[in-house]
Amino acid sequence: MRASVYALIVTIIVIIAGVSAYWWSTGSHGSENVPIVKQGDKISVKYYGYIYYGGERVIFDTNIKEVAEDNITYPKAVSYKWTGNFDPLTFTVGDHTMIPGFEKGVIGMKLNETKTIVVPPSEGYPFDWTKVQNYSLVQTIPVVENLTLQDFKKRFNQQNPLDNAIYRDNEHGWYCLVLQINPTNNIVTIMNEPQIGKYYQPYQNISTLKIYVENIKDGKIIYKYDIEKLPILLPNGGIIDWQNSTMFRINHNKEVAGKTLYFVVTVIKIEESS
């Protein structure tokens, strides 16, 4: 009786071991059939990309609606642009439509896998120092200026200036009086009219950049830039991204240029190359 019980137990163990071995074998075999991204494959991905600025993670690009809409969990870089397009990003690996670090990072990923790809500056966007200019925080400007008509239009957003009209200066925030228009020489003469000791906001939609008028002397206005928080995206596409006690710089590179980039990528489709 005891021998038969032992035999039964041994039989059950053998059966369980066999079933387990079969399950492990088929499971491993199945995983081998999961597509893996390789050179030449056409793939589609969902992603968001971020950089660090001042120790804070900021999103500069995404095709995920939830990430785009959530500015608390996913604060945005100053250059982030809402496109409203959340279609998958589709490209062929190796055709160089993507930056090198991104292409290298997706190789070896499995279908439906999510991975964070770290792209060093050398494999991302190059930084061009010729696109960077330094400026003094303290500057001067004549009370009376002669501007070309083109410069006037750019500075005041006006197509046809009028004599004795008053316009807001979009580069400084104060108001100016048109003293004279000389169409023959294409010159507009203006008078800047700020007040000493007053702050002005150069760009109406940028609250973190102000100008403080320190003095008006000998026909010149002495003013100082007051930068509350960096970075600041200017209307011309430049970014104020650095300052010290005397200087600040305007960077006309892309905000991501020269930075380590992080992409959280999910592969949602793989069309294997023939």
Tell me what pLDDT residue 273 has. 80
Cα–Cα distance, 141 to 161 (Å, whole number): 21
Confidence of residue 7 (pLDDT cuts 50, 70, 90): very low
pLDDT(15) > 60 = no
Question: What is the Cβ-side half-sphere exposure of residue 70, based on CA atoms within 13 angstroms?
Answer: 10
Dihedral sign, Cα of residue 256, residue 260, residue 266, residue 270? positive
Please give the average per-residue pLDDT across 250-273, as a whole number: 96
pTM equals 0.77
Please check whether residue 60 is in contact with residue 256, taking contact to mean a CB–CB distance below 8 angstroms. yes
Angle at 68 between CA 65 and CA 69, to 5 degrees: 85
* Coil, strand or helix at 242: strand
Tell me what pLDDT residue 91 has. 97
**Per-residue model confidence as pLDDT tens digits over 81-100:** 998 899 999 999 999 999 99
pLDDT(65) > 60 = yes
**Per-residue model confidence as pLDDT tens digits over 138-182:** 999 999 999 999 999 989 987 789 999 999 999 999 999 999 999
CATH class of 42-127+257-271: alpha beta
Q: Pull the structure tokens for residue 7.
A: 């035999």
**Per-residue model confidence as pLDDT tens digits over 26-61:** 233 345 688 999 999 999 999 999 999 888 999 999
CA distances from 133 to 206, 212, 214, 243, 253 (A): 20, 21, 24, 12, 11
CA distances from 130 to 77, 127, 134, 251 (A): 23, 9, 11, 9
Please give the average per-residue pLDDT across 257-262, as a whole number: 97
